[in-house]
Structure 1
Amino acid sequence: MTESVSSIDQIFTLSGLRTDHWRDLLAIARKWHAGKAEAVQVRQAYDALQAVETLHAYPGPQLLNALTAALDANNKESFVDLAGRISFSILARYYKEDAREWAVTPEQGRELAGSFTGSDPTAPHRPYFEVLVVAPPDSPRVAQNVQLIRSQRRKEDEFVYEPVVVTNFQDACCAIATNSNICAVAIFEGFNYASQFPMPQLNVMLQQLNITANDDDEHLALELAQTMADHRPELDIYLMSDRNPQEIASDSRSAHVRRILYAVEEPIELHLSILEGIRHRYETPFFDNLKRYAQRPVSTFHALPIARGKSVFKSDWIKDMGEFYGRNLFLAESSATTGGLDSLLEPTGNIKRAQEKAARAFGADHCFFVTNGTSTSNKIVLMSVAQPGDIFIVDRNCHKSHHYGAVLGGLQPYYVEAYPMKEYSMYGAVPLRVIKQGLLKLKAEGKLDRVRLLDLTNCTFDGHVYNTLRVMQECLAIKPDLVFLWDEAWFGFAHWSPFLRPRTAMGAAATLEKYLRSPEAQQAYDAQQQLLGENPDDEALLNTHLVPDPSKVRLRVYQTNSTHKSMSAIRQGSMVLVKDVDFHRIEPQLHEAIFTHSTTSPNQQLIASLDVARRQMELEGYGLVSNAIQIALDIRNQINTHPLISRYFRVLGADEMIPEQYRNSGFKDFLAPGTNWSNAALAIRDDEFFLDPTRITLVCGTAGFDGTQFKNLLANQYDIQLNKTSRNSILLQSNINNTRSDVAQLIHVLLEISSQIDERLRNDGEGAREAFEQRVTSLMTDVPDLPNFSAFDAKFRNDVNGQVAVEGDIRTAFYKSWDESNTEYVGLNSPECDQRLKDGPPMVSAKLVIPYPPGFPILVPGQIINHEVISFMRKLDVKEVHGYDSSRGLQVLKS
């Protein structure tokens, strides 16, 4: 990133770099103390931090004033000591636990000890957060109220908070963007709009996120509330008004305000409201109930011997399992759904409430917990919204659960192809033009009424994110009742980033829902109809950014979310999120699908972890996701700029993974010269595809390793784990679990491996260099062409009017293969295979065939096996190919 650290509105990176800035200050201060730097250098570094620190409660005015006084007095030792204490406290987050960290002197620390945090080791932990107070400048009344709010805090409170006071709209926006500790906002009317600090990025950011603000608005407080809700919808917002609160409550923008209070009322009301709001988000109905259940003396007479743990802890042979997992795991187990527990299949109590909280948190109308992973979530949705014989448009490279969902539900897939990235043996995402072509082709064949849904992966395994809003807009313009299933198994965390949220299914659905209700939607549609005429040809429709008829649209959006893949849920924890205007009609079908695909013995701990994951993301997800993004940017930067590592490894940018025609913004890479988060925000808003910044494709073929080989090397020798590889790359993912220590270890290992390669090539002579170059060439240049979907065999198609149908009956083909008399095997490299490719009869796949890597199905049941597929399989050098028996060959259906 190229911005100066002195910019207060460096909102895209500052939350992740704050500790670095303090360490930089401490480093220059120590040089000053040692006589190796000048005071003016310390002053510059300190001045750069002071503006930013006004947006945080800690270190606060007292400590900053003491630091300023030490610098003004040229007291080097005091400045270094205090700067070091503050820096370490921010890094280790001690200030959240110990009130003494806020003290200037030891005497003051003894007075503060135990006053509001966990400095008393015998006291229970109380989560810490900060409240942003937006108030008019130089207002004694507000200052008095802030002090009065502080005075309301008691040791009995469940949570502890500190206020952060700003005096204008722009500083308030920067505060919620940079300070992830802020969980609530109290807005007093009468504040200013403009900051005293320069704001080169803020207005650009607001514009690119489609957030508008009018500094002349009579109700600027409501403008601010709406802006904050757009950026961080999880925040509790309270409005303190001197006027009639009921007048403000009638404004539609007040929907974003949790409570409107009369400003002259006792501050205890605001204090209690703030705590109540946090308590509402902190509550985890199922987990809280499960903890209470575990403490009850229960006698079990049901089929779960490990419940209560007696069979484990009284055993002579498996006691070690109890010692490993702990007693609470077994105390909280039960197969009963009574006695205070609830049923996942028919929730009426605490599970239902937990799902309602998750729906609100993720911006959905409904949420359903799934304990069999998103593989099951996808099948549930497919079975709910479609019936046997329905056509669904689906990415051929999607997860196998979608293909098997078609088999189980009797759906007919119309496969659309993602653009290929041959040099890396992977696919990107499906261009919108290809999707529209599919819809228009089916319309021309008279099959549009049979098309039920569009099923896409967002984001893909390799990080390609769709412009979900535009995809839904344009598809609904062709088929207004089209259902959308967005498989966001890897992308659930994105809701907690204001930049990525608009590209999520629920984020785009909310935007589209609001747009369709506006007068502009009908005006845009009428103008487009006038431009296109009554019967536009397909080419005109393909070349137009279509808008739907708002009077006909039925907005029906489903998002499946592998909560365990990006949040703190136990493995297999998943959610189905729903925003469907016709949900009341299909709700019975969805419940039947849940009964069909879900276990009747769901794991209690897994359900609880979904409940807790929602709580965590609502209260600290913004900061955790910001940190995950910053860690990913650090990894990119360290690898691509290191003089030795970059000789053998590199991280691919958007310009290498997304063709130029899908990047209208011109965005190339996070590390491109002059690029910052405002450029990225523009690309997120406008481009057809964008790369998830937390997914990092590391090319290892240039170091002589294929993906699987390098993955195993990292795991076996360096204890670095990952799971996705391609022929010449590996995928690294940063998430809310990663720390700077993880980054340091990764870079250290890559440097060690690069040094070993460098030394070997230098010492082993010309032969070694030639062998290395040949290996690199085979991995990076001699790569197989990626096969597209060929076609379903005629027996599994329903051709119309001489036109060859693209959709197919995958279910019949799948079950036909269960009778061995219907199948035979053809060796991949056999003369028979070559002969049949040339002269027939055609070979028709009996199975889903999925090589790992790259992990996409190159064959599905009923698909014609062509020369393109065979060539690809013959060049594969991977050992794991699901659906293929190397000893017998390809299983094909007999003619």
Structure 2
Amino acid sequence: MNTGAPKQQAESLTAVLSVSATRTDKWRHLNAIARTWANLSDKATQGSNLRADAAKLLDTIMQLEHCWAYPGPRLLGAISDALEANDASTSARLVQKVSGALLSGDFRRDEFVWDVSAEGEGRTLDVLPPDVMEGGIGKPYFEVLVVTPSPASTWMRSRDEMARMRRPDDQFHYSVVHVGSFEDAALAMMVNDDLQAVVIIDGFQYATRHDVPGLHAYLERHIKVDPDSVVPGEMATTLARGIHTYRPELDIYLLSDRAPESLAGSDEAAPIRRLFHHVEEPMELHLSILDGVKDRFDTPYFDNLKKYALRPIGTFHALPIARGKSVFPSNWIRDMGQFYGTNILFAESSATTGGLDSLLEPTGNIKKMQDLTARAFGAKRAYLGTNGTSTSNKIVVQAICKPGDIVIVDRNCHKSHHYGMVLSGAQPYYVEAFPLTEFSMYGAVPLRTIKQALLDCMAEGQLDRVKVIDLTNCTFDGHMYNPRRVMEECLAIKPDLVFLWDEAWFGFARFNPFHRRRTAMGAAAALTERFRSKEYRDEYAAWAKEHPKLDPGDKSLLDARLLPDPDKVRIRVYQTNSTHKSMSAFRQGSMMLVWDEDFHQVEGPFEEAFFAHTSTSPNLQLIASLDLARRQMELEGYAMTMRMTDLAVRLRRAINTHPLISKYFRVASPEEMIPAEFRSSGIKDYGPPNANWSDTLKAWDEDEFALDPTRLTLVCGAAGFDGTQFKGILAERFDIQINKTSRNSILVQTNINNTHSDAALLIKALADLSREIDSRLAQEGAGGQNVFKARVKSLMTDVPDLPNFSRFHDAFRDNAKSRSNEGHMRPAFFMAYDESNCEFIRLASDEIDKRLKDGPEMVSANFVIPYPPGFPIMVPGQVIQADTIAYMRKLDVKEIHGYHAAQGLKLIKPSALAGLKAGSDR
């Protein structure tokens, strides 16, 4: 009989991304075996085999169960006893209870899922863990890891003693997980996403006593410690540093026999929230654990907004909708109140008093909210955006740039960056990302290209004017830079560069150690620590002997690893993120994160830019949602982002290995999306059998670019669908919403809200469409098949080449002969406001071909941005060349911002350009 059970050999952790998800899968498989066994009418031969399968799988599960509080030793012991006694009914009941509770999360809410007795049959509370008996269920639940040298035989008593300190008025409820070694602690911290605090008691051993296949390789993904190199007496603080690096949100408490007053002031204690002298104050430890979680749970703005909504207030300000008095009595819009409810209307105000604070000049709960946000996202400062990251980008660009500054910027970045430079008067120096012509999209800008731009500016004596490097990380399609390396090498050329990383789609990345290594704030912290270390000074001194002075004409510098002078380098990093795109915030919720060692030079301009672009009537609900998004990510962001990444990898594998779906659809692999020259690891795809996760993380550490696994480019061209058409089919027929498309693909973006049911919905849609295509082709015969092949060829093979940025017209350049490519975009932009300066030429006109051949040059008067792909193929002041025209003529998209087919291309007249002085307002 096929029970659907997995092979019973232990799975090596090196093959696992999310142990938490794999654990739940194993319990579901065990549940299937146990149910089948219990339902057998003849339990002889078949029952014996199923019992053996269940016992082997339980043994595999038990290898890691010490990392979680639930189901705990009582339930696990009862299941083992039932299997040993050949009791199929009890085994099935208990396994089903555990499997169901893990899947639903009921163990956090329902006391009876901890009970070994049968529901409704003589349930006795004295067999429940004391922490459950104390009435904690119903409150927010978490688990505390206790690392102790005490023998395992004392752990149950210790757990009960901690439980007895719980009080009815405690805000939260927790259970305790005990481990006895460094390795067990590190493993539990990695796999148990219910942990919120770690209590470390000095004196524990290093090595685990459990036999877990692949344990050491799994731990070394993120915590590389040689036990022989650990200084005696520093095992606890070494563990604390490792935990803080991997999961910085966790509170760490140290109980030590050493004098805590001396240890508290040392660098060793930096990651530790509080130190205790062993166990002399158990209630203080209990209260500290609750206080640490409360510190992250607090939402100062949201809490005050709730209080405000409950107050009886008369509103004499400009917001009739406040308190709902213009809505609920209305004869005509009463349904608005019914739809939105009372809270959203009672929590509306245009006042900045009564505890609501001002977004433009925060001094109260918004100021506190900003501080909490900076801590959560690993920044020095944080500012809140209520007009989306489009506005946040403009604020940052205008704050850090002044007229005449050169900004080295990805030509394919979001249009808000381009408009920000129009507003600030900064001169963009456009650099090109590598093309992915097959998918009609661009990737990211190679470091070699960025270094070449800096060296060209150095050669022309313009390096002092280069202020900012402006890049998108990760890109819409999932290309992640290696920000540490980009910033390190660029700072070797100009040590005071400012970096703006648009991480609109990447805000979630802070909250798991896989993605964090590729974030701007993560890189800023890592580089700050690196440049301050003695080891780096020694490394730089050796490098500087070989490179006493950088020669901009030396081509070898483009491929050499460059190091900045630690005495000159400044870490100046800005990151914007669309909180609403990847976290639980309302639309347009955004954040600006700052790690700038010279922010005192920028604070005034930043404030002015913030005032210029931020509404004086910000949406209060949006601000509150940013507060809540921060709370959620600090408390469960690790669990949610790991789960969504695991789901994305499973979805990728399910599509690409399905025998029918893969005939017409596939998810593009890292091998397809990142050229080999930027992928030195040689990694081809994610997850077994392509690569184990240790190798994947090594690739993420070392490769120039990596592909975010949560963003899946689903190629639909082989099914005969262009991206826009396929997006419509999914929406109309299957209720699946997609945002971004390309000529022959759609982007499937997994978020923290996605479930296995969502994945199944997409798989079912792809399978249904694949069957329809198969059936249609079989019915249509050779003629229909030829038409289908031609359609596929047009989408997958006959794709237009992607145009590169050409150059700015000489009228908008300070030095037409310079090899640096910056230009004055602002005057070109505003010239188009005067229609007498402009002309229109239709795309199909012969005049275009004539001017391409004989001149005069055609110069764009505005931005032209096709959707898809969504990047500007023309910017104001750009000379239009043949590749851009060829691309536009092959485009079959309906939405092109800045272009109206009836009028044609909007150009600046040659007569308006004649004699124009670069940089002038005309």
Q: TM-score range by the shorter chain?
A: over 0.9
After superposition, the Cα gap between the structure-2 partners of 1:405 and 1:306, relative to the gap in structure 1 and judged at 3 Å, is: same
The residue type equivalent to 2:802 in the other structure is L
* Aligned pair partner of 1:29 in 17, 31, 34: 34
> Does the 8 Å contact 1:118/1:126 carry over to 2?
no
* Aligned pair partner of 2:594 in 578, 597, 605: 578
* Aligned pair partner of 1:14 in 12, 19, 28: 19
Range 349-358 or range 92-101, more displaced: 92-101
After superposition, the Cα gap between the structure-2 partners of 1:881 and 1:5, relative to the gap in structure 1 and judged at 3 Å, is: farther
2:532 aligned residue: 517
Matched, 1:869 2:874: no
> Percent of aligned pairs with the same residue?
55
* Aligned pair partner of 2:654 in 608, 614, 638: 638
* Cα distance in 2 between the residues matched to 1:321 and 1:114: 48
2:375 aligned residue: 360
Matched, 1:839 2:854: yes
Tell me the alpha carbon deviations over residues 657-677 of structure 1, each in whole angstroms, 9 at most, x when there is no partner. 001111111211114635121
* Cα distance in 2 between the residues matched to 1:183 and 1:213: 26
Structure 1 residues 59-208: aligned runs within 5 Å: 59-105=71-117, 106=119, 107-108=122-123, 110=125, 125-138=138-151, 144-198=157-211, 201-208=214-221
After superposition, the Cα gap between the structure-2 partners of 1:676 and 1:9, relative to the gap in structure 1 and judged at 3 Å, is: closer
Q: CA deviation at 1:620?
A: 0.4
1:403 aligned residue: 418
The residue type equivalent to 2:19 in the other structure is L
Q: CA deviation at 1:100?
A: 1.4
RMSD (Å) for aligned C-alpha atoms: 1.9
Match of 1:772, SS state, is helix
* Cα distance in 1 between the residues matched to 2:873 and 2:13: 51
Matched, 1:778 2:790: no
After superposition, the Cα gap between the structure-2 partners of 1:808 and 1:875, relative to the gap in structure 1 and judged at 3 Å, is: same
Structure 1 residues 653-802: aligned runs within 5 Å: 653-671=669-687, 673-799=689-815, 802=817
Match of 1:708, SS state, is helix
2:916 aligned residue: none
After superposition, the Cα gap between the structure-2 partners of 1:115 and 1:250, relative to the gap in structure 1 and judged at 3 Å, is: closer
* Cα distance in 2 between the residues matched to 1:654 and 1:741: 26
* Aligned pair partner of 2:305 in 290, 303, 308: 290
Match of 1:455, SS state, is strand
> Does the 8 Å contact 2:10/2:60 carry over to 1?
yes
Range 36-45 or range 516-525, more displaced: 36-45
1:508 aligned residue: 523
After superposition, the Cα gap between the structure-2 partners of 1:262 and 1:210, relative to the gap in structure 1 and judged at 3 Å, is: closer
Range 242-251 or range 274-283, more displaced: 242-251
* Aligned pair partner of 2:62 in 21, 29, 50: 50
Structure 1 residues 392-471: aligned runs within 5 Å: 392-471=407-486
Match of 2:602, SS state, is helix
The residue type equivalent to 1:253 in the other structure is E
Q: CA deviation at 1:844?
A: 0.5
2:582 aligned residue: 566
The residue type equivalent to 1:189 in the other structure is D
Match of 2:227, SS state, is coil
After superposition, the Cα gap between the structure-2 partners of 1:887 and 1:479, relative to the gap in structure 1 and judged at 3 Å, is: same
The residue type equivalent to 1:345 in the other structure is L
Range 383-392 or range 196-205, more displaced: 196-205
Match of 2:354, SS state, is coil
After superposition, the Cα gap between the structure-2 partners of 1:894 and 1:446, relative to the gap in structure 1 and judged at 3 Å, is: same
After superposition, the Cα gap between the structure-2 partners of 1:634 and 1:129, relative to the gap in structure 1 and judged at 3 Å, is: same
* Cα distance in 1 between the residues matched to 2:8 and 2:445: 35
After superposition, the Cα gap between the structure-2 partners of 1:599 and 1:117, relative to the gap in structure 1 and judged at 3 Å, is: farther
> Does the 8 Å contact 1:703/1:776 carry over to 2?
yes
> Does the 8 Å contact 1:708/1:726 carry over to 2?
yes
After superposition, the Cα gap between the structure-2 partners of 1:3 and 1:866, relative to the gap in structure 1 and judged at 3 Å, is: farther
* Cα distance in 2 between the residues matched to 1:285 and 1:174: 34
* Cα distance in 2 between the residues matched to 1:245 and 1:795: 69
Match of 1:764, SS state, is helix
After superposition, the Cα gap between the structure-2 partners of 1:621 and 1:292, relative to the gap in structure 1 and judged at 3 Å, is: same
> Does the 8 Å contact 2:15/2:692 carry over to 1?
no
Q: CA deviation at 1:205?
A: 4.8
After superposition, the Cα gap between the structure-2 partners of 1:535 and 1:814, relative to the gap in structure 1 and judged at 3 Å, is: closer
Structure 1 residues 465-504: aligned runs within 5 Å: 465-504=480-519
Structure 1 residues 813-832: aligned runs within 5 Å: 813-832=828-847
The residue type equivalent to 1:56 in the other structure is W
* Cα distance in 2 between the residues matched to 1:401 and 1:259: 44
Q: CA deviation at 1:542?
A: 1.2
Match of 1:486, SS state, is strand
* Cα distance in 2 between the residues matched to 1:535 and 1:816: 40
* Structure 1 segments unaligned to the other structure (5+ residues): none
Range 150-159 or range 568-577, more displaced: 150-159
After superposition, the Cα gap between the structure-2 partners of 1:697 and 1:118, relative to the gap in structure 1 and judged at 3 Å, is: farther
TM-score by length of 1: 0.97
Matched, 1:254 2:266: no
The residue type equivalent to 1:558 in the other structure is Y
After superposition, the Cα gap between the structure-2 partners of 1:29 and 1:745, relative to the gap in structure 1 and judged at 3 Å, is: same
The residue type equivalent to 2:26 in the other structure is H
Q: CA deviation at 1:110?
A: 4.9
Matched, 1:317 2:332: yes
TM-score by length of 2: 0.94
The residue type equivalent to 1:754 in the other structure is S
After superposition, the Cα gap between the structure-2 partners of 1:694 and 1:338, relative to the gap in structure 1 and judged at 3 Å, is: same
Match of 1:869, SS state, is helix
1:881 aligned residue: 896
Tell me the alpha carbon deviations over residues 334-389 of structure 1, each in whole angstroms, 9 at most, x when there is no partner. 00101211000000000000010010011100000010000111111111111011
2:288 aligned residue: 273
Match of 1:864, SS state, is coil
> Does the 8 Å contact 1:497/1:626 carry over to 2?
yes
Q: CA deviation at 1:145?
A: 3.5
After superposition, the Cα gap between the structure-2 partners of 1:162 and 1:11, relative to the gap in structure 1 and judged at 3 Å, is: farther
> Does the 8 Å contact 1:205/1:681 carry over to 2?
no
* Cα distance in 2 between the residues matched to 1:124 and 1:672: 39
Match of 2:305, SS state, is helix
> Does the 8 Å contact 1:209/1:685 carry over to 2?
no
* Aligned pair partner of 1:231 in 242, 246, 250: 246
* Cα distance in 1 between the residues matched to 2:71 and 2:723: 46
* Cα distance in 2 between the residues matched to 1:534 and 1:412: 28
Q: CA deviation at 1:9?
A: 7.3
* Cα distance in 2 between the residues matched to 1:822 and 1:661: 45
* Cα distance in 1 between the residues matched to 2:809 and 2:462: 19
> Does the 8 Å contact 2:130/2:163 carry over to 1?
no
The residue type equivalent to 1:463 in the other structure is G
